[in-house]
Amino acid sequence: GYPNVGKSSLINSLKRSRACGVGAMPGVTRCLQAVQLDRHIQLLDCPGVVLDSGDPPAAAPLRGALAPQRLRDPLTPACAILRRCPPQQVRGD
């Protein structure tokens, strides 16, 4: 699945314990991990995957594939986000 959508958090919720590490930034889950939910169900937690869709490079941060601190140019993705928002929403009307 995509990075930072809650895969590890969902597993922790189902397990009702902290079976997987979680965090607000992409890259907390570094390898595949099997978590035994009960005798019959085993869940797999994996790192986020973003397939190359041919979109411009500015689209990767919008999918959560890169941590904002690692961006060389944070203005390009910020402008892409603002272009998708209605002006009233940005102004707070």
Rounded to an integer, what distance in angstroms lies between the CA atom of residue 1 and that of residue 29? 12
pLDDT in tens, 15-66: 999 999 998 877 889 899 999 999 999 999 998 877 766 666 666 677 766 7
**pLDDT of 77 above 70:** yes
More confident residue, 91 or 8: 8
| Phi-psi map region of 6: left, alpha, beta (phi>0 left; psi -120 to 50 alpha) | left
Is the distance from CB of 38 to CB of 53 less than 8 angstroms?
A: no
pLDDT of residue 55: 66
